[in-house]
Amino acid sequence: MFERDGAGSGSRTRITSLENWNNNRYTIPAYFPKILTYLLCPGKRETSVAQTFYPRYTLPGFKEVRMGTELQHVLSADQFQDPRLIEEIFTRARQMRFGVDHGLCEPVLVGRVVAMIFYEPSTRTRLSFDTAAQLQGARVIGTESAGHFSSATKGETLEDSIRVIGGYADAIILRHPELGAAARAAAVSPVPIINAGDGNGEHPTQALLDLFTIVEKIGDPKNLHVAFVGDHLYGRTVHSLAHLLDLAQTRMSFISPRALRLPQNLRTQLAMRRLGIFESEHLQDVIDDADVVYMTRVQKERHQGVEGVSSDGSDYCLTPELVARMKPGSIILHPLPRNNEIPVEIDGDPRAAYFLQAKNGLYVRMALLSMILPPRNRGKHARHAT
């Protein structure tokens, strides 16, 4: 999936897996002169420190993957069919992580206004997008309870609100309880829409940060075994990540009560793939083999209780005994918030990666914003930038 030639570091060796690529990242002879030049000759600086450490992947004939033109809106994980886009996002996310860790974030979004319009509750998605925009110099506007504090209470349609907000902002991050809301918004929006969750539909930026965490913790997802546990019918993060992992040829299993199995169309699509999918009602069936155990909570707000599931979802919970059976190099992910699917005593286990996963959301969303709002067009408020 991630095969490519060289990493722009001076070496032109063929890199066949991300693991090799990651091992190649610190090739001292390639970076050493650049770092010396950066430190000693400020006048000759061609790139930021972050780009010096994490060189941008360049395609033959292209300066960089121009996501701003190819992917104006981010609506579904299915849009990331081209592995070069994922490469570009992940390379940038590593640069962003370096920048955040060293206080070296580049203000590439100065003059931009990013609108956060959330009709549903959110902690991680809203605050990480907000931080991602501000760390790069953008100003952030919006409302976190748009269903109550916007003109929606006066009967304004989503479409009208988006048209209006698109006149103020350069991009709109939208979370809405209805399936397909982001696509409806994109159909009328004058600026890019980023789907931050549309009902029980999709959550594509969550899937990108989930995949980033898998790649950083384990390596190339090809042929890894990812076991999804919990609510697959209403859990939008599962839908989006399954799309991405399908493209990456990952083995997938789905552990849930029958009533919360994947929606029929996605189930059919995944079942027809070469690798098929494994389905079971018992976590014990996969716990010894899985490389990634992706826990989710039962989406109680989206249904009135489901047959075969306790109201607290406790049938699909990890226990220390189950975790003890997991492979040593495996990881536990969860989009969060958790209910009782993962008891706190598991947090200290080296395989528990869900807080790191949430942190990765910042870097991946910084990367996405920098690609969707490229500096070549400085935005409608550039002349008012401070």
Task: List residues with catalytic annotation.
Answer: 124-125, 154, 175, 203
In whole angstroms, give the CA distance from residue 215 to residue 224.
10
Among 124, 139, 184, 239, binds ligand NCD (CB under 6 A): 124
DSSP string of 90-115, one letter each residue = HHHHHHHHHHHHTT----TTTT-EEE
Alpha helical stretches, state H, the chain: 18-24, 28-40, 49-53, 67-70, 83-101, 124-135, 146-149, 158-165, 181-188, 204-217, 236-247, 264-271, 320-324, 354-372
- In 219-252, which positions are buried (b, 16+ CB within 10 angstroms) versus exposed (e)? bbbeebbbbbbbbbbbbbbbbbbbbbbbbbebbb
In the β-sheet with 113-118, what is the strand arrangement from edge to edge? 139-143, 113-118, 171-176, 193-198
Among positions 97, 232, 297, 365, the unique one binding ligand NCD when judged by CB under 6 A = 297
- By CB under 6 A, residue 197 contacts ligand NCD: yes
**By rule CB under 6 A, what count of residues binds ligand NCD?**
10
Query: Hunting for tokens 């976190």 — which residue is that?
Result: 144
Q: CB 43 → ligand NCD: shortest distance, Å?
A: 44
Alpha-carbon gap, residue 124 to 304, rounded angstroms: 25
10 or 337: CB nearest ligand NCD: 337
Instruction: Pick between residue 206 and residue 370 the one whose CB is nearest to ligand NCD.
Output: 206
Kindly state the smallest distance separating residue 203's Cβ from ligand NCD, in Å: 5
Quick one: 37 or 131, whose CB is closer to ligand NCD? 131
Of 175 and 251, which has the nearer Cβ to ligand NCD?
175
Q: Smallest distance, Å, CB 39 to ligand NCD?
A: 39
Q: How far is the CB of 237 from ligand NCD (least distance, A)?
A: 5
Q: Does 365 bind ligand NCD (CB under 6 A)?
A: no
CB of 220 to ligand NCD, least distance (A): 24
Closest residue to ligand NCD using C-beta atoms: 335
Site membership for ligand NCD, residue 200 (CB under 6 A): no
* Main-chain dihedrals φ then ψ at residue 197, nearest 5 degrees: 120, 115
CA dist., res. 106 & res. 81, Å (int):
28
DSSP bridge pairs for 139: 113
- Token couple for 290: 């899985």
**Residue 15 or residue 77: which is nearer to ligand NCD going by CB?**
77
Strands 139-143 and 113-118: parallel
Cβ 331 vs Cβ 320: under 8 Å: no
Q: What's the closest the beta carbon of residue 200 comes to ligand NCD, in angstroms?
A: 9
Which parts of 203-262 interact with ligand NCD (CB under 6 A)?
Answer: 203, 206, 236-237
What is the footprint of ligand NCD within residues 309-348 (CB under 6 A)?
335-336
Select 99 or 201, whichever has its Cβ closest to ligand NCD. 201
Q: Phi first, then psi: what are they for 152, rounded to 5°?
A: -60, -35
Residues at the contact surface with ligand NCD, assessed by CB under 6 A: 124-125, 197, 203, 206, 236-237, 297, 335-336
